[in-house]
A and B are shown apart, each in its own frame.
Chain A
Amino acid sequence: MIINHPILGPRDAQEFTYLGDAALIDRPDWQADNAAEAFHDYLYLRDNPAGEHRELWFHEQGDRSWLVVTRNTVTHDILNVELARDVARARGRRK
């Protein structure tokens, strides 16, 4: 597979390490009332779609960027690639 890195352009997927669902960015608030339950869901509940899936890939043999790759798990088409840090900020993550 070829991942079109937002900074470096097309790079072989062999250079990357796969983590999983980009929902891992949405780490729950540890002080929320339902924190235990929220962490349970965060840890163990995943969608497994046949189709579009947002995934975390780490460019380990490259620039060490974490990327959010939107990929069709059926066709392997890669529809969008973003820097995970930008995605995290857009989803309201701060310090």
Chain B
Amino acid sequence: MHSLKAITPLGGTCPQIDHFDGLLISENSDRALASIAARQGREAECSAAVQSILGLKLPQPAKWSIGGAYMAWWMGPDLWMVDADHTDHELLAVNVKRAVGSVGSVAEQTDGWCRFDVSGARVLDVFERLCNLNLRAGEAGDAHRASIEHLGCFVLCLEAGAKYAVIGPRSSAGALHHALLTTAQSVI
């Protein structure tokens, strides 16, 4: 076991949690991420390999899916992000690469991102001040990319109208968190 201590995207030793009346914003630093891009002409093989070895059916455009210990969301044509608990799957990229072999390109993305889980009765009122997604018309399983505070973020609908994950660039975690807090304060 190595001797280096990890810090969260917000710079703390443990994730930050912010409570509002009808809203909870939780920094989630326990995610391991790896991107999979299917090689040209090998798209079906790539999906099949992920399904058979990881037990995960790769999702359709603008969707996320779950399978066993893994979750994945669609990032672009033939491109997905696979997600798992960091505690148990720190070497996710290595394992995913092992699964897809030469039919997919895999890159470790774990620390490229920060994630905030936003939940509560006021969540839609807050998101309509943050991004242009029509979340009121959405459903659980949606995975969109949106610009929040000028930052390209993924917004995953975990429970429609109740719980969403915002995944944004890690270096701007502070700016994204500030936007979430000031918007929550503005709305609630």
Count chain A residues whose beta carbon lies closer than 8 angstroms to a beta carbon of B. Answer: 12
Q: In the complex, which residues of chain A have a beta carbon less than 8 angstroms from the beta carbon of B172?
A: none
Among B119-127, B145-153, B176-184, the one that faces the other chain is B145-153
Whether B152 contacts A61 by the Cβ 8 Å rule is yes
Any B CB within 8 A of the CB of A65: yes
Chain B contact residues, majority secondary structure: strand
Chain A contact residues, majority secondary structure: loop
Among A7-15, A43-51, A71-79, the one that faces the other chain is A7-15
Given contacts A7-B61, A8-B61, A12-B132, contact A64 B147 (CB under 8 A): no
Give residues 77-104 of B contacting A (CB, 8 Å): 77, 79
Q: How far is the CB of B135 from chain A (nearest CB, A)?
A: 15
Any B CB within 8 A of the CB of A63: yes
CA A62 – CA B144 in complex, angstroms?
Answer: 8
Could you tell me which B residues sit within 8 Å of A by CB distance?
61-62, 74-77, 79, 132, 145-147, 152
Could you tell me which A residues sit within 8 Å of B by CB distance?
7-8, 12, 14-15, 60-65, 83
For the complex with contacts A8-B62, A15-B147, 17 further pairs of A-B residues with Cβ separation under 8 Å are A7-B61, A7-B62, A12-B132, A15-B145, A15-B146, A60-B152, A61-B146, A61-B152, A63-B61, A63-B74, A63-B75, A63-B76, A63-B77, A63-B79, A64-B75, A64-B79, A83-B77
